[in-house]
Amino acid sequence: MIEYTSLLQNYNLYKEEYESAVLKAFRSGWYILGPELDEFEKSFADYLGIKHCVGLNSGTDALILAIRALGIGPGDEVIVPAGTYIASVLGITENGAKPVYIDSTSDTLLMDTSLIERAITDRTKAILPVHLYGQACNMSAIKEIAEKYDLYIIEDCAQCHGAMWNGKYAGTEGTISCFSFYPTKPLGALGDAGCICTNDDELADKVRMLRNYGSRVKYHNESIGVNSRLDEVQAAVLSVGLKHLDESNQMRIGFSERYMNEINNPKVKLPVTANEAKHVYHLFPVLVDDRESFQKHLLNNGIKTQVHYPIPPFLAECYMNTCAGVLNGAEIFPNAYYIANHEVSLPMYSGMSEEDVEAVINAVNSY
Ligand SMILES: *Cc1c(COP(=O)(O)O)cnc(C)c1O
């Protein structure tokens, strides 16, 4: 059976290094806010070429705290793609602000930047692009609009570690960027973790304070904070992963090239990458008319697939009867709705074997 992702095979690639790093952190006698976190924050910021990285408990917390640090709350609106994972929207609603959705493009499956301007109102505070599947959004267009209307850019970088737009890393051009290190992500911990990155000293300082009970000085709580720290053991794991990030991204890019070149079934629509984008293929999304029969055919050939994501946030149960739910969203966001109903993610992970890639190609072509 070929899995759509395999954390264990990914882990096994760098097993010895992970295990010695973890053991070192275990044996240090210091587990929270220590040297491992300092080192990881510095090296991830250096990798991206950005001033600050602040380690947090998860990507969802990164989105919540980034939006809180920007002072966005009740009465404010944030523009977000209709086609994304719900966590992109949770950061907005958790702060009492309103998500204003815009449709995805039918080719890159990302936020359609030509729709942003007409979604802006006098309550709009920020644009929240999501670099979904590992491909960077059109940051040139987003930056131009943000400057014109004086809006913040909050980048959801949960799936795009190492991806680029016009030669610049995703997560470096916005006001603040939010990364997840959930185990399946291009840079994954062996547990929950995330971070924000920014060039803004004040914002970085604010998130640092918020993540630690809202205090800069012990027992002096100036803000109502949370506990959202990236622990020493996960920081040590991430430092190992970061050393191999380019290499593991390159493996998936190689597998994707084979998929792109060798899948030739007209019933299967392959993903489209913008010329300016470097895609790191966190996922490999294809579109098919009849998803059920396609997934069944692959499963009969020993291949597991997944769907990202079958229920768009604007139709999420929890948002019905709130400002984040859009009952007629299927008509207003036809591309996002189509993708939700026709997307299938083919197996894609670092550490996959060429034989497995071949088997997926053959099974897709025989559908
Ligand atoms: C994974 C993910 C998140 C949330 O990250 P967690 O670390 O799981 O909280 C947010 N946005 C997107 C697009 C994601 O894929």
pLDDT digits (tens, 9 = 90+) for 149-158: 999 999 999 9
The 10s digit of each residue's pLDDT in 10-40 is 899 999 999 999 999 999 999 999 999 999 9
The 10s digit of each residue's pLDDT in 188-217 is 999 999 999 999 999 999 999 999 999 998
> How large is the average pLDDT for residues 104-120?
98
pLDDT score, position 10? 87
Pocket flag, ligand 1, residue 88 (CB < 6 Å): yes
Pocket flag, ligand 1, residue 306 (CB < 6 Å): no
Which pair of tokens denotes residue 16?
């010895």
Nearest CA to ligand 1 atom 10: 87
To test the pocket of ligand 1, the residue of 85, 89, 104 to mutate (highest count of ligand atoms within 8 Å of its CB) is: 85
Q: How far is the CA of 217 from the centre of ligand 1 (A)?
A: 30
Q: How far is the CA of 266 from the centre of ligand 1 (A)?
A: 32
Q: How far apart are CA 190 and CA 237, in angstroms?
A: 7
Q: How far is the CA of 156 from the centre of ligand 1 (A)?
A: 8
- 161 in Cβ contact with 183 (< 8 Å): no
Pocket flag, ligand 1, residue 180 (CB < 6 Å): yes
Collapsing DSSP to helix, strand or coil, 283 comes out as: coil
pLDDT > 90 fraction of the chain, expressed in percent and rounded:
97
Q: Cα 115 from chain centroid?
A: 21
Q: Pick 7-101+112-243's CATH classification: 3.30.70.790, 3.40.50.1000, 3.40.640.10, 3.40.50.450.
A: 3.40.640.10
Q: Which residues contact 331 (CB under 8 A, 6 or more apart)?
A: none
CATH class of the 245-365 domain in this structure: alpha beta
Q: How far apart are CA 32 and CA 6, in angstroms?
A: 29
pLDDT score, position 342? 98
User: Taking the domains of the chain in order of start, what are their residue ranges?
Assistant: 7-101+112-243, 245-365
Q: How far is the CA of 321 from the centre of ligand 1 (A)?
A: 24
pLDDT score, position 204? 98
Which pair of tokens denotes residue 364?
């897709």
Nearest CA to ligand 1 atom 15: 158
